[in-house]
Chains A and B, each alone.
Chain A
Amino acid sequence: MQSATVVEADRLAVGFARVLRGVGISSPLDSVLTFVQALGVVGMNDKDSVYWAARSTLVRRPEDLPLFDKAFRVFWQQRESPEFVQETALPFTIATDDDSPNLNDGQSGASDDPLITLRFSAVETLREKDFATYTDDEMHLAHQLMSQLRLAGPPRQSLRGVKSKRRGMRPDLRRTIRASFAAGGEPVERRWLEPGQRSRRLVLLLDVSGSMEPYARALVRFVHAAVAGRQRVEAFTLGTRLTRITRELTSRDPDRALLLASSRVQDWSGGTRLGDTLRQFNDRWGVRGMARGAIVVLLSDGWDRGDPEMLAEQMARLHRVAFRVVWVNPLKVTPGYAPLARGMAVALPYVDDFVEGHSVEALEQLTKVISRA
Chain B
Amino acid sequence: MGGGAVTESIDTRHGVILYLEDVSVSFSGYKALNKLSLAVDDGELRCLIGPNGAGKTTLMDVITGKSRPDEGSVFLGQDINLLQHDEATIARLGVGRKFQKPSVFPRQSVRDNLALAVQGHRSPWEALWYRPSSADSDRVASLLETVGLNAVAHQLAGGLSHGQKQWLEIGMLLAQEPLLLLIDEPVAGMTQQETERTAELLQSLVPQRSVVVVEHDMVFVRSIARKVTVLHEGAVLMEGSIDEVQSDSRVREVYLGEAC
Q: Is A bound to B?
A: no
Residues of A with Cβ closer than 8 Å to B?
none
Residues of B with Cβ closer than 8 Å to A?
none
